[in-house]
Structure 1
Amino acid sequence: MQITQCLHTAILVSNLEDAEHFYSNILGLSKVERSLKYPGVWYQIGDVQLHLIVDTTLSTHLQNPEKWGRNPHVAFSIANLDDAKTKLLEHNCPIQMSASGRAALFTQDPDGNIIELSQV
């Protein structure tokens, strides 16, 4: 077997409207068309897609609430960490700076899914 590319990652969300607001308006991701019959939204990020799939019974809890990066998460490269931090705080999004000292922070979407933003 030879894996040649990552195509997408999927995140479960309980409320599609809240999730779309976070991923579209706060993170600024671009939606792509999808023709599936179950509720969700797809976003294109470079060569990879992020799929939001609705699960109204979703119950998220952190295995490690003190270190968000030690939980399942998706990581995005960003151009400016300070700008990202400012925007997240303006929208009352929780943030936790990376404990490693690198230029990265963690935030949570409305369902508590962890998102890492890393200035590379």
Structure 2
Amino acid sequence: MDISGIHHCAIISSDYARSKHFYVDLLGLKIINETYRNERQSYKLDLSIGNGSQIELFSFPNPPSRPTRPEACGLRHLAFAVPDVDAAARELNEKGIDTEPIRIDAITGKPFTFFRDPDDLPLELYQG
């Protein structure tokens, strides 16, 4: 098997309009395609991340809750590579998005911080 990268990460939102605003207007991800699937009463929004990866943002009627604590079993968090964590965190803060204090990865020596999306999903900025 020759895995060349991560193609996409799928996220189911509790409030599609709010999450679309967060990922498009606040984080600045570009829309590739937006589809409403009437048979599922569901939107699927494909968003481009700078390196060719994507986020698939879904809406579904009445999705069940999922634990989001970083140590809960399952996907721990989604990390975005940025050239300058401090500058990116300031930009999020200026848009009203809280970030944790910037920390240094003990293994790589690189700075990182966490923030949350509208559904309280853990997101990370990682300098890379």
TM-score over 0.5 (shorter chain): yes
2:124 maps to which residue?
A: 116
Q: Whole-Å Cα distance in 2 between the matches of residues 34 and 21 of structure 1? A: 13
Flag the structure with more relative contact order, 1 or 2, with Cα contacts below 8 A and sequence separation at least 6: 1
Q: Which runs of 4+ in 1 moved over 2 A?
A: 1-6, 55-65, 97-102
Residue ranges of structure 2 left out of the alignment (5+ in a row): none
Cα drift, residue 87 of structure 1: 1.8
Aligned residues: 115
TM-score normalised by the chain length of structure 1: 0.79
TM-score normalised by the chain length of structure 2: 0.75
Structure ID, larger Rg: 2
Q: Whole-Å Cα distance in 1 between the matches of residues 5 and 85 of structure 2? A: 27
Letter of the structure 2 residue corresponding to residue 49 of structure 1: Q
Q: 1:36 to 1:117 in 2, by over 3 A?
A: same
Percent identity between the two aligned chains: 26
CA deviation map 1:51-103 (0-9, x unaligned) = 111143342433348xxxxx611111112222211122123223123363631
Cα drift, residue 106 of structure 1: 0.8
Residue ranges of structure 1 left out of the alignment (5+ in a row): 66-70
2:96 maps to which residue?
A: 92
Cα drift, residue 36 of structure 1: 5.8
